[in-house]
């Protein structure tokens, strides 16, 4: 029980830390270039891709079966896809269609990031059940990944009329679900090697979906130049280095 509590607190603190740092940067910056935003979004995408391909999936295959790993991977993609569909079709989304477009974008980003943080917490919890080094690597990468998300959430909220304090509070709260996700990942991952492999696969699928359906397309909408793609390459290289020395 004490171990589960520690993992939950790690997930909670890591989720809050990443989005809060990003939110603080967002509320303090008066002007942020699209070039810079595109770069940091793709850098975090590259980091996540490297961790999935060189750490999460190999560790899952090593601890469990191919079936468990890929079943979890496809389940992770389907769950995040369902969350995306739910966000776009709920009464919440329709209710904000008439609002200030920038403010609406920021609010929907906050909801989406909060929901995405649940499976990211799952990655943290199941990672620690597999090994301390894997859990630590995933935690560090997710914190770095959440910083640009916090910025992307805070900027439209602030531009849409929210005060700096209110904007920061929203970015802070969006990281809280990661604590619950970490607890669930640790509980399921502790049942058997099969569940550890499935949980790591689930986390890998969820992270790949976020990278290729959210982060990279969003970056290309913001900035189409080479600079953002360089960020992706640097993120992959840094991710490989992290996995080699973790």
3-state class percentages of the chain: helix first, strand second, coil last, to nearest 5: 90, 0, 10
In terms of pLDDT, which residue wins out, 110 or 211? 211
Is the predicted pLDDT of residue 155 greater than 80, yes or no? no
pLDDT of residue 98: 46
Inter-residue contact 146 to 175 (CB < 8 Å): yes
| Mean per-residue pLDDT, 41-56 | 83
CA distances from 28 to 49, 64, 161 (A): 29, 46, 15
Sequence ranges of the domains in the chain: 2-30+63-214
Inter-residue contact 74 to 205 (CB < 8 Å): yes
| Mean per-residue pLDDT, 202-220 | 82
pLDDT band of 230, cuts 50, 70, 90: very high
Inter-residue contact 214 to 52 (CB < 8 Å): no
Predicted TM-score of the model (pTM): 0.70
Judged by DSSP in three states, 246 sits in coil
Which of 215, 201, 220 has its CA nearest to residue 78? 201
CB hemisphere CA count around 131 (13 angstroms): 12
Task: Give 171-210 pLDDT, tens digit per residue.
Answer: 898 888 888 888 888 887 777 778 778 878 887 888 788 7
Q: Hey, how many other C-beta atoms are within 10 angstroms of the C-beta on 244?
A: 9
Task: Give 72-112 pLDDT, tens digit per residue.
Answer: 899 989 987 887 777 667 645 455 454 455 566 566 667 66
| Mean per-residue pLDDT, 218-238 | 87
Work out the angle at residue 208's Cα, subtended by the Cα atoms of residues 207 and 213, and round it to the nearest 5 degrees. 105
pLDDT of residue 121: 83
């Amino acid at each position: 029980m004490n171990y589960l509590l520690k993992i939950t607190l790690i997930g909670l603190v890591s989720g809050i830390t990443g989005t809060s740092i990003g939110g603080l940067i967002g509320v303090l910056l008066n002007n942020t270039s699209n070039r810079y935003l595109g770069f940091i979004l793709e850098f975090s995408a590259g980091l996540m891709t490297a961790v999935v391909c060189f750490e999460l999936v190999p560790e899952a295959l090593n601890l469990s079966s191919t079936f468990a790993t890929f079943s979890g991977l496809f389940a992770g993609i389907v769950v995040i896809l369902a969350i995306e569909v739910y966000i776009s079709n709920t009464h919440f989304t329709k209710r904000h269609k008439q609002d200030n477009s920038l403010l609406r974008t920021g609010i929907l980003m906050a909801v989406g990031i909060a929901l995405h943080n649940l499976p990211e917490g799952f990655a943290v919890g199941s990672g620690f059940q597999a090994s301390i080094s894997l859990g630590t690597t995933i935690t560090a990468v997710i914190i770095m990944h959440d910083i640009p998300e916090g910025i992307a959430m805070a900027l439209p909220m602030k531009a849409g009329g929210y005060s700096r304090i209110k904007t920061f509070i929203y970015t802070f709260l969006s990281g809280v679900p990661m604590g619950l996700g970490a607890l669930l990942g640790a509980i399921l991952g502790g049942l058997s090697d099969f569940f550890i492999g499935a949980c790591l696969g689930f986390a890998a699928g969820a992270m790949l979906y976020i990278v290729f359906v959210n982060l990279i397309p969003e970056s290309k909408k913001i900035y189409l130049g080479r600079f953002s793609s360089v960020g992706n390459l640097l993120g992959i290289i840094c991710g490989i280095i992290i996995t080699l020395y973790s």
